[in-house]
Amino acid sequence: MTPPTVLTIAGSDSGAGAGIQADLKVFASLRLYGTSVVTATTAQNTRGVQDVFPMPGNVVAAQLTSVLDDMPPRAAKVGMLATAEAAAAVAAKARSGLLPNLVIDPVLESSSGRRLGVVSAIERLLPHATVITPNREEASALVGWPVDTPADMAGAAAQLASNGPRYVVVTGGDLVAGDDAVDAVWTEAGARFLHHPRIGTRNNHGTGCTFSAAIAARLALGDAVPEALVFAKEYVARALRGARDWNLGGGQGPLDH
């Protein structure tokens, strides 16, 4: 039996809570074969991001070519994109049809406040996306107005959908009000919300990466997007629950895959 392959194009997290490492854990836990293109190396732990080293565009392009020539993925996700050159390399492959079922997590900042990605790089890729999964702050940076409430999230999702992606999920897990972790989804059939009871834990580093990786994984397995979204939301909740009592590092710990 040959497992389906799924590709992550993202940054490395030395603490292995987010980025490439989180994505590969998701893929392995779902019995997919994950390949990886590293867009940046971060020096990082549970306390935050200490340093960021973007890969030159030709290094990103070379990794993409190696993987796509030999192990074509059924789905791919893009996380941290630190430079316009890296975005151009990814966009070129997407234009050639080599990145089907493309999920874009428009990473801009770590939750510890360190800049990781650039808006212009993300905008370049939006027309090629099947799904994009910004959190409220990322959605706000992309639409240009504050995204504070669930109604704002739905409005931002609709606006972002006009740039090309077929589905937009604005995640609201960081909204502090209430016991509900709510995400706004824009689909061709209109707007709806995904709900899950909030799981309170300091160990929530890498939730965005994990959510988008789980969506890409389920698309690679043949799910339609709405089913993949519901699956991914439940996957993140289970991973948060599993790590609730972990004591790894002095800060915001990782999830349990």
Enumerate binding residues for ligand PLP (CB under 6 A): 10-11, 13, 18-19, 42, 44, 79-80, 107, 110-111, 116, 205-209
Q: How far is the CB of 2 from ligand PLP (least distance, A)?
A: 29
Q: Provide CB contacts within 8 A for 124, sequence distance 6+.
A: 84, 87, 88, 91
Question: For residues 80 and 98, which CB has a smaller minimum distance to ligand PLP in the complex?
Answer: 80
- In whole angstroms, the minimum distance from the beta carbon of 153 to ligand PLP comes to 18
Tokens at residue 245, please?
């009592």
Query: Which residue, 57 or 251, is less far from ligand PLP as judged by CB?
Result: 251
Cβ distance to ligand PLP smaller for residue 102 or 155? 102
E strand map for 97-226: 102-104, 131-132, 167-171, 180-187, 190-197
CB of 51 to ligand PLP, least distance (A): 11
- Whether 122 and 151 have beta carbons less than 8 Å apart is answered as no
Minimum distance between the CB of residue 190 and ligand PLP, rounded to whole angstroms?
28
Residue 31 or 115: the one with the smaller Cβ distance to ligand PLP is 115
Residue at 196: amino acid letter: H
Neighbours of 148 (CB within 10 A): 13
State in angstroms the smallest separation of the CB of 106 from ligand PLP.
9
SS3 94: helix
Indicate the residue among 142 and 155 with the shorter CB distance to ligand PLP: 142
Q: Please report, to the nearest 10 degrees, the dihedral formed by the alpha carbons of residues 218, 181, 209, 184 taken in order.
A: 70
